[in-house]
Amino acid sequence: MPAPERRDALRTLLRADGLDALLVTDLVGVRYLSGFTGSNAALVVDAAGPGGDVFCTDGRYTTQAAAEVGGLTTVIARACAVECARAVPAGTALGYESDHLTVDAHAALVAAAPGRHLRRAPGLVARLRTVKDDGEVEAVRTACALADEALAGLLADGGIAAGRTELDVALDLETRMRRLGASGPAFETILAAGTHSAIPHHRPTGAELRRGDLVKLDFGALVEGYHSDMTRTFVLGPPAGWQRDLYDLVAASQRAGCDALAPDVEIPAVDAASRDVIVDAGFGEQFVHGLGHGVGLQIHEAPWLSARGTGTIAAGQVVTIEPGVYLEGRGGVRIEDTLVVRADAAQSLTATTRELVEL
């Protein structure tokens, strides 16, 4: 969906909320609505129509803005939020992203743009971004395919092996993704071996991988601003009985979560479908996080799949399903895929096998 159409969709939300305009200061939202990828910008979207839309960035990005932002009145200034607020007439009911604007930044708006009726309006752009258009889905699909390819190369070259350190393997994988065309990793790669695999978000260290270890690898690629996210758990050598049992349990939980993911299903019901498999096996207290999250221009974004989640699943959403069980002092297993919700079922965008792989 082109940026002008996205801004038009936002106008519908603004009118429904009784707002004359919205000041967008979250750079992810600015990118979504304008195409701009720089580090300083703000945008006003006018509920009445595109003629009142104003984009602002500073002088470092004059050339870049001209190339990326089309059809918008552009102002060049350092204090972008203030300049955009000044661009709307006095008396305007101006929404602002209270979940992103600091207290000091709000005070600066009040002082610099008197007469505007500032109103908290969190989450409006995020609501639009929850459902992905075809171009966004293809961008995530490309990022997932690149991550799959990088992992396949790492495995084929024996890159996950006893004697290598967690840091070595993580760096190797990230380098492979870059060489395949990623602009970088989607987030700091999690490589957790042995007892470290029981730490859900372990940061790689100089610890060496050892025969008999579970090796948990959570990673993704960043392609054209869109992220992928995948977790696989391997074992170095033949698995012990408890490792096989734990893996099979998490795999069954993940299949149940993926099968439950469909339009109009309540979000807590998706979480329950997956979580109940683990709870019924007696490991509910060792599944310590939500089931998944949205993926797109951010690695973690709405919708949030958990027991406390609200709303229903919608076609076009791109989300992860990632149950895990973590046994302190022994090891843990997590299996994660990125999926797109279609009208009839969910389709996985990650292709690496979900079977337990012995290395």
CA distances from 300 to 14, 21, 148, 269, 316 (A): 25, 27, 20, 20, 16
Query: Alpha-carbon distance 232 to 148, whole Å?
Result: 11
State the residue for tokens 């969910």.
Answer: 346
How, if at all, do strands 93-96 and 117-120 pair? parallel
Residue type, 134: D
For residue 71, what pLDDT is reported?
Answer: 86
CB 216 within 8 Å of CB 192: yes
**Tokens at residue 278, please?**
């683990």
Burial class (CB in 10 A: 0-12, 13-18, 19+), 98: middle
Cis (ω within 30 of 0) for the bond into 204? no
CATH class in words for 134-348: alpha beta
Residue 252, CA distances (Å) to 6, 142, 322 in order: 39, 27, 12
Torsion sign, CA atoms 206, 146, 335, 312:
positive
How would CATH label the architecture of 3-127? 3-Layer(aba) Sandwich (3.40)
Of residues 191, 195, 301, 183, the one with CA closest to residue 243:
195
The CATH 3.90.230.10 domain(s) of the chain lie at 134-348
Q: How far is CA 224 from CA 28, 114, 227, in A?
A: 13, 39, 9
Q: Residue 235 — φ and ψ, nearest 5°?
A: -135, 135
Distance CA 211, CA 300 (A): 33
pLDDT along the chain (359 residues), means of 10: 93 97 98 98 97 97 95 95 96 96 95 95 96 97 98 98 98 98 98 98 98 98 98 98 98 98 98 98 98 98 97 98 98 98 95 97
Query: What is the reported pLDDT for 323?
Result: 98
In contact, 198 and 331? CB cutoff 8 Å: yes
